[in-house]
Amino acid sequence: MAGKLVHVKVAPKGMGLNDFVAHEEGFYADEGIEVELDWKTFRGTQSSWKKYEYFQRPQDKPYTEGGGEQVVQCACVWGTISNASAGMGRMVADCHGVSPWAIFVRPESKIRRPEDLKDVPIAVGMRAGSHFNVPFRLEKYLPLEHIKTANVGGFGARLAALLNKEIEAASLLPPQIDMAKQLGLREIIADEFHTLWWVPESAPKTEVRAYLRALDRAERVLEADLPKYLPLWKHCVPPEFQNQTWDYGHFSRGERFVYEPIPRAEFEEVFEQVRRWGLDQHLKERSFENLIYRAS
């Protein structure tokens, strides 16, 4: 595409490879955009959040500091809708992601079944995918009052807390799931969940559409030749784990990009679940039409 590329800032979440594949293959430039990866926000979301309240987390700051910086982000379906409802951006209605999730323990742990997690604090990043997945998945096995979480923060912090024996169990996402397996940790329960992108309400639609098209192109080449791109997981390993040797060839592919909206019923379910879990303190707007951003 001729002419000057339009600058777009993106904070990758590190649960999938699409952002890095699109950059590697020049798909962003083909769509007329120059994507700046916001490594500061990304590394912040991997680190500890123990000292942060809601609205102070690394992923919140583009909306709560600096006058509403134009940053494209993505998180679990519950987190994105809750963030939008709390006034931090709008959820992109055009697409979604599908990501693995799991809870791991150390190999010597006596915990072997989901039922064994009764009253056991599980390391999570509060009000994010690692957190919301815990009650959503474990309630099939345990009463809600016996499902406990501990606010540790991002995936680097959660995996480190598990390895350092600060916590008995940890809720993990890609690629730390594969990292945990290579480290010999034991998986207790695994499933998948949806993710949603969110943007400032004022984000230019032409730029967001171009970004989503690039992610969709990346999805197609990942499906065609996954082994070629698995080494790109190196971008997602947090600093405290970069001195270890990882066999990226045996990592899974992580989050998948789906260029279709989530079912409307899932949107309604989010508010009901978040209310049941007692995590609705910051919800304000609940109208689907008022919370969505349509790039198309």
Residue pLDDT, tens place only, 39-81:
787 777 777 777 778 877 878 877 777 655 678 999 999 999 9
Dump the DSSP string for 123-142. Answer: EE-TTSHHHHHHHHHHTTTS
Cβ(14)–Cβ(241) below 8 Å? no
Cβ(54)–Cβ(280) below 8 Å? no
Which two tokens mark 247? Answer: 């066999």
Q: What is the mean pLDDT of residues 116-134?
A: 95
Which two tokens mark 100? Answer: 């693995």
**Per-residue pLDDT at 250:** 96
Quick check: 1 pLDDT over 50? Answer: no
DSSP state of 181: H
- CA separation for the pair 27, 258 (Å, rounded): 17
Bridge partners for 148 per DSSP: 121
Domains of the chain in sequence order: 6-98+195-293 (3.40.190.10), 101-191 (3.40.190.10)
pLDDT per residue over 209-225, tens digit each?
999 999 999 999 999 99
- CA separation for the pair 192, 133 (Å, rounded): 9
Radius of gyration of the chain (CA): 18
Higher pLDDT pick, 251 / 89: 251
- CA separation for the pair 255, 170 (Å, rounded): 19
pLDDT per residue over 4-25, tens digit each?
778 888 988 889 999 999 999 9
Beta-carbon-side half-sphere exposure of residue 262 (alpha carbons within 13 Å): 26
Q: What is the mean pLDDT of residues 131-152?
A: 96
The verdict on pTM exceeding 0.85 is yes
Cβ(161)–Cβ(50) below 8 Å? no
Cβ(196)–Cβ(115) below 8 Å? no
Most confident by average pLDDT, 30-44, 62-76, 133-147, 232-246: 133-147
Going by C-alpha positions, the residue among 67, 161, 116, 46 that lies closest to residue 59 is 46
**Per-residue pLDDT at 63:** 76
pLDDT per residue over 184-205, tens digit each?
999 999 999 999 999 988 899 9
- CA separation for the pair 142, 135 (Å, rounded): 9
Bridge partners for 104 per DSSP: 170, 187
Indicate the helix (H) or strand (E) that contains 211: helix 205-224
Kind of pairing between the strands at 96-105 and 256-258: antiparallel
Bridge partners for 171 per DSSP: 103
- CA separation for the pair 198, 91 (Å, rounded): 4
